[in-house]
Amino acid sequence: MILHATCRNNVYPRSEVKRFPVPDKYVPWNVPFEYDPPTYTSAHIAGQVWADPDIQNKEFQPKWNCLDGNVNRVSFNGEYAIDDCGYPLNPMGRTGLRGRGILGRWGPNHAADPIVTRWKRDADGNVVKHLETKKNILQMVAIQRRDNKMWAIPGGMVDPGEKVSTTLRREFMEEALDSFEDQQMVENFFAQGTEVYKGYVDDYRNTDNAWMETVAYNFHDETGTQVGKLKLSAGDDAAKVQWMDLDRNKELHANHSWIIEKIIKLLNAHW
Ligand code: RP5
Ligand code: MG
Ligand code: MG
């Protein structure tokens, strides 16, 4: 994964704020660099239930690197540092922007990513192999995000106190699924996932003081008779939804392609 490929050297989303240019070699905090980034926290965050107060607010006493009440401020990347002014520091280094941007939490913002897969099949139900690699083609339920128009895993934020297993299923339902009858089948399907990644997400919203992390699970429908047969329907922050053929050339949101490659290896699929 290239460090800060999407959250560096560009204009911050939903703003006109330009990130301070950070060449690759100056990303790590321990490399001395004359660094003077702008500070930006979007006004629309103020007062939202899902957002922290401002750090300068005296009543806000966050417990960094801890489970802080219901809010998980622990990073999968180990203990993160707090700078002299009391701001948590992005464990992956400089992004060219201070503040929180449009993220709700200072420090880690925890998400969950449900990667629902099935094999591509022809009209007769036979699994389709790729002509060159001769490997089976894997399909994933992908959504097109409303915010940046990119295709992505239908992930979402873990609500305070919510179990990750609940977030995974809830976000999939909200963003990708139409109404369906067989509740029990869907329950059983989501009860059997494989964790494929947990850690930092190279998300375009990240800043020096706020960043995305995720837990990604694969839910694989080997026979295509479970969730693989259900009608998809885009909802919530998804503009479109589809069963997408997976291969290395698909340009996906954040580092989602890099996460998906882990499943490709596990299932020995075409890539
Ligand atoms: C990504 O943003 C995560 O990997 C997850 O897919 C998603 C969560 O944010 P929202 O979809 O709620 O904006 O970086
Ligand atoms: Mg969502
Ligand atoms: Mg989402």
Q: Which atom of ligand 1 is nearest to the CA of 113?
A: 6
Query: DSSP string spanning 171-199?
Result: HHHHHHB---S-HHHHHHHHTS-EEEEEE
Residue 211: pLDDT over 90:
yes
For residues 101-123, average pLDDT: 97
Residue 2: pLDDT over 70:
no
Closest CA relative to residue 251, chosen from 173, 149, 160: 149
Whether this model's ipTM surpasses 0.95 comes out as: yes
Centre of ligand 1 to C-alpha 13, Å, is: 14
Name residues contacting ligand 1 (CB within 6 A): 111, 113, 152-153, 155-157, 201, 203, 212, 214, 237, 254
For residues 33-49, average pLDDT: 95
Residue 206: pLDDT over 80:
yes
Centre of ligand 2 to C-alpha 251, Å, is: 20
d(CA 29, CA 3) in angstroms, rounded, equals 13
Residue type, 102: I
Residue 199: pLDDT over 90:
yes
Mean pLDDT computed over every residue of the chain? 95
